[in-house]
């Protein structure tokens, strides 16, 4: 016996000093029973709220029945039931599912499938995109250099095109879309031939990259180009899926049909579960047995996901996300209107960001961080994001009520008014 007391690695960077003891609905409580409004939802995961009774009950029942079936060895009923059920919410025809554990793993699975199915190697991503931290997913990620720095060489064959980030480009939304699509065409003509390009990966709302919604015309432009060249359109719905943006999928706002949907986070209310979905004819072009992992499609996580879908439907959480999202947006805009520190408020549904800028319009991470810390001190948990770390984001559970939105806006207003 070494007789030592191990400690956490300094690799960990924690956004708030809170030591959470329990969670209920939109609140987490620390060990002194201090209550915090959790507008992080565990980075967009606990959409049904912390410890929703139906999710707890389903998971407890499954824990006592079968914890780990291991679906490449023995199949189990929760996974079959979940697969059938997800058919109700997936885009028409995008209905063959493969399960893994995390967003990053699902992105890896989509990249493997895209390369195997098309026989092409390249992937196109957009500036500010976040697809994960595993090697393949990090190679697709450009939301901040910390994800890529010091770990190269990364997976080759990734080309990066501008995202229509209208505010930072100083353009109208239409101009930004025209610009981004023109640059994409240029990339396809000069860097990544359509004949070499397996897939375009895109988030319906840039998440870690600053909460910038993809304008519908941009997503439709990607769809047209993907369709024309036989390139797969892969929608990374890890953060935007399951009602987060006020429609079931983030891409519903644009009316495009993806070839592959990647989902995780809100899928299982906090249990590790993720999936890729694609049409049968596409999945059939992948190589059987080349994908998977020990814990993929865990039985307890699948049972929790089934209960999550029930709660989303029974409690009308998609509509609630749209309604409360609008209320929150208005509140954040009012706060921004009286503060020179916030240059832009944007987002979709309950995925909203406030971008901090200096008087001359430069990104201001320092003030964003101060506001973020002051909000935590005042009992409101938030996250920052953006390539410059200058966007404070709100991503509460989808069960949030009007009163809770108002309470968060009040705290946020006091925090911003108190900035010197």
**Under 8 Å between Cβ of 404 and 381:** no
Task: Work out whether 236 is an interface residue with ligand PMP (CB under 6 A).
Answer: yes
325 or 331: whose CB is closer to ligand PMP? Answer: 325
Position with the least CB separation from ligand PMP:
103
74 or 149: whose CB is closer to ligand PMP? Answer: 149
391: Cβ contacts below 8 Å, ≥ 6 apart = 210, 211, 353, 354, 355, 356, 368, 384, 385
Task: Work out whether 355 is an interface residue with ligand PMP (CB under 6 A).
Answer: no
181 or 238: whose CB is closer to ligand PMP? Answer: 238
Running DSSP on this structure, what letter comes out for residue 267? G
In the region spanning residues 388 to 417, those forming contacts with ligand PMP, defined by CB under 6 A, are none
Nearest one of 75, 17, 38, 48 to 265, comparing CA atoms: 48
Task: Work out whether 349 is an interface residue with ligand PMP (CB under 6 A).
Answer: no
Task: Work out whether 297 is an interface residue with ligand PMP (CB under 6 A).
Answer: no
Task: Work out whether 238 is an interface residue with ligand PMP (CB under 6 A).
Answer: yes
Using CA atoms, how far residue 235 sits from 115, 141, 200, 346, in Å, is 16, 14, 8, 20
Query: Smallest distance from the beta carbon of 129 to ligand PMP, in angstroms?
Result: 8
**Under 8 Å between Cβ of 90 and 252:** no
- Compute how many other C-beta atoms are within 10 angstroms of the C-beta atom of residue 19: 10
Task: Work out whether 344 is an interface residue with ligand PMP (CB under 6 A).
Answer: no
Tell me if residue 273 falls in helix, strand or coil.
coil
Running DSSP on this structure, what letter comes out for residue 138? H
Tell me if residue 193 falls in helix, strand or coil.
coil
Task: Work out whether 259 is an interface residue with ligand PMP (CB under 6 A).
Answer: no
Q: Which of 107, 184, 219, 235 binds ligand PMP (CB under 6 A)?
A: 107
133 or 257: whose CB is closer to ligand PMP? Answer: 133
In the region spanning residues 36 to 95, those forming contacts with ligand PMP, defined by CB under 6 A, are 43
x-marked contacts with ligand PMP along 170-209 as a string, rule CB under 6 A? ---------------------------------x---xx-
341 or 350: whose CB is closer to ligand PMP? Answer: 350
Q: How wide is the angle at C-alpha 201 spanned by C-alphas 175 and 89, nearest 5°?
A: 100
Query: b/e for 34-58, b at 16 or more Cβ within 10 A?
Result: eebbbbbbbbbbbbbbbebebbeeb
Residue at token pair 């429609």: 247
Number of residues that bind ligand PMP (CB under 6 A): 15
Q: Which stretch binds ligand PMP (CB under 6 A): 130-138, 157-165, 308-316, 330-338?
A: 130-138
105 or 364: whose CB is closer to ligand PMP? Answer: 105
94 or 206: whose CB is closer to ligand PMP? Answer: 206
Look at the alpha carbons of 225, 274, 399, 21 in this order and tell me if their dihedral is positive or negative: negative
- Size of the chain in residues: 420
Task: Work out whether 132 is an interface residue with ligand PMP (CB under 6 A).
Answer: yes
Task: Work out whether 168 is an interface residue with ligand PMP (CB under 6 A).
Answer: no
Task: Work out whether 264 is an interface residue with ligand PMP (CB under 6 A).
Answer: yes
> How are beta strands 351-356 and 342-348 bridged, if at all?
antiparallel
Tell me if residue 183 falls in helix, strand or coil.
helix
**Under 8 Å between Cβ of 159 and 192:** yes
245 or 357: whose CB is closer to ligand PMP? Answer: 245
Query: Smallest distance from the beta carbon of 61 to ligand PMP, in angstroms?
Result: 25
Using CA atoms, how far residue 286 sits from 62, 219, 299, 405, in Å, is 32, 25, 25, 45
Q: Which stretch binds ligand PMP (CB under 6 A): 74-82, 89-97, 103-111, 336-344?
A: 103-111
Task: Work out whether 130 is an interface residue with ligand PMP (CB under 6 A).
Answer: yes
Q: Which of 69, 78, 91, 103 binds ligand PMP (CB under 6 A)?
A: 103
- Pull the structure tokens for residue 254: 């644009």
**Under 8 Å between Cβ of 110 and 186:** no
Q: Which of 62, 83, 104, 197 binds ligand PMP (CB under 6 A)?
A: 104
What is the contact surface with ligand PMP in residues (CB under 6 A)? 43, 102-104, 107, 130-132, 203, 207-208, 236, 238-239, 264
């Amino acid at each position: 016996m070494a007789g030592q007391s191990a400690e956490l690695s300094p690799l960990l960077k924690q956004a708030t000093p809170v030591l959470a003891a329990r969670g209920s609905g939109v609140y987490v409580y620390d060990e002194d029973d201090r209550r915090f409004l959790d507008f992080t939802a565990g980075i967009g995961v606990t959409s049904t709220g912390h410890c929703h009774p139906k999710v707890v009950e389903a998971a407890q029942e499954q824990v006592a029945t079968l914890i780990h079936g291991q679906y490449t060895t023995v199949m189990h009923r929760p996974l079959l039931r979940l697969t059938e059920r997800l058919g109700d919410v997936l885009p028409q025809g995008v209905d063959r599912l493969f399960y893994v554990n995390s967003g990053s793993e699902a992105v890896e699975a989509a990249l493997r499938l895209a390369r195997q199915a098309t026989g092409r190697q390249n992937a196109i991503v957009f500036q500010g995109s976040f697809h994960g931290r595993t090697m393949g997913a990090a190679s697709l990620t450009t939301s901040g250099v910390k994800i890529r720095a010091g770990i190269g060489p990364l997976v080759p064959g990734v080309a990066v095109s501008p995202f229509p980030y209208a505010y930072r480009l100083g353009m109208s939304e239409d101009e930004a879309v025209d610009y981004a699509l023109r640059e994409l065409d240029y990339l396809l003509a000069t860097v990544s031939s359509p004949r070499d390009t397996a897939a375009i990966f895109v988030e319906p709302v840039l998440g870690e990259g600053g909460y910038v919604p993809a304008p519908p015309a941009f997503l439709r432009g990607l769809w047209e180009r993907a369709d024309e060249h036989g390139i797969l359109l892969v929608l990374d719905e890890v953060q935007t899926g399951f009602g987060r943006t006020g429609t079931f999928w983030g891409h519903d706002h644009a009316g495009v049909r993806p070839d592959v949907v990647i989902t995780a986070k809100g899928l299982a209310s906090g249990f590790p579960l993720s999936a890729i979905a694609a049409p049968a004819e596409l999945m059939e072009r992948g190589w059987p047995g080349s994908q998977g992992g020990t814990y993929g499609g865990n039985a307890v996580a699948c049972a929790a996901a089934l209960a999550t879908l029930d709660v989303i439907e029974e409690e009308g959480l998609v509509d609630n996300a749209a309604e409360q999202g609008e209320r929150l947006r208005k509140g954040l805009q009012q706060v921004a209107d009286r503060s020179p520190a916030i240059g832009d408020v944007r987002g979709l549904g309950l995925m909203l960001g406030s971008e901090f800028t200096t008087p001359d319009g430069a990104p201001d991470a320092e003030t964003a961080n101060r506001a973020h810390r002051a909000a935590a001190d005042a009992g409101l948990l938030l996250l920052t994001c953006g390539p410059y770390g200058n966007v404070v984001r709100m991503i509460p559970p989808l069960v949030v009520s009007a009163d809770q939105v108002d309470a968060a806006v009040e705290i946020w207003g006091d925090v911003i008014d108190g900035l010197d």
